[in-house]
Amino acid sequence: MVVATSGTTMTGAIDDVDAIVAAASAAGPVYVHADAALSGLIVPFTADSASWGFAHRAVGSIAVSMHKGLGMPVPCALAMCRSELVVAEVEGEYVGTTDATLGCSRSGLASVLIWFALASKGLKGLARDARAALDMAQQTTERLAAAGLHPELHPSSIVVVFDRPAEWICGKYHLATVGDRAHIVTVSHVSDHIVEELCRDVERTREIATVIAGCLLAAGHRSREAEPPLPLPPTTRVSAAPCSS
């Protein structure tokens, strides 16, 4: 089994399932599990849809984090598998009955919330949400580039990676960071207003840093002018002594 990721945690990169299968097939039949936690509700509505999900014959199972794409109030996910790989009935001997659900005796709240969101949106609503997130990712990339933050955006991704700003900005916008890079995931609550405000904060911080640097430079120049001149070294006089006979 090989796990292919649709939307890596930091950069939102999407693995090439065809390339994975080609590389692993020398070892025998390849079973691919698609970890689509981030982009499971995005990629199906892009040009990459044919190479992802059950449309690809090597993919046998898929996992999607539904609270990310649907904005659920509780953590929830959806696990799917090809029907021929699923046991039709699971019997619990200790309860003397069969149960066909993953949750069994656990709360069904998350399942109900997922069902309601999917039923309310429908395929057209999900496609509209995906397109809005992709468009926002492109707009965010362009705005961050104008702010000089060197953004990167992978195809069919909603994760925009850029230069890590000042720590107070990372804290204000709850930015995930690794080393000198940060990222924004353009899910439904990320708006033009938020991105614009972030860029203004970055530009304002840069301007303040420039002013402070200029003030420090000017202060250093004035302090040097105020210093008294260094005393000249004393003149050394050499007298010729008579040679003793």
Active site residues: 157
Nearest one of 171, 174, 178 to 162, comparing CA atoms: 178
Asked whether the beta carbons of 14 and 43 are under 8 A apart, the reply is yes
- Sheet containing 152-153: order of strands: 152-153, 159-163, 181-185, 176-178
Distance of CA 238 to the CA centre of its chain: 78
Amino acid residing at 205: T
Tell me the residue type at 161. V
- Tell how strand 97-98 and strand 152-153 pair up: unpaired
- Identify the CA nearest to 118 among candidates 160, 80, 61: 80
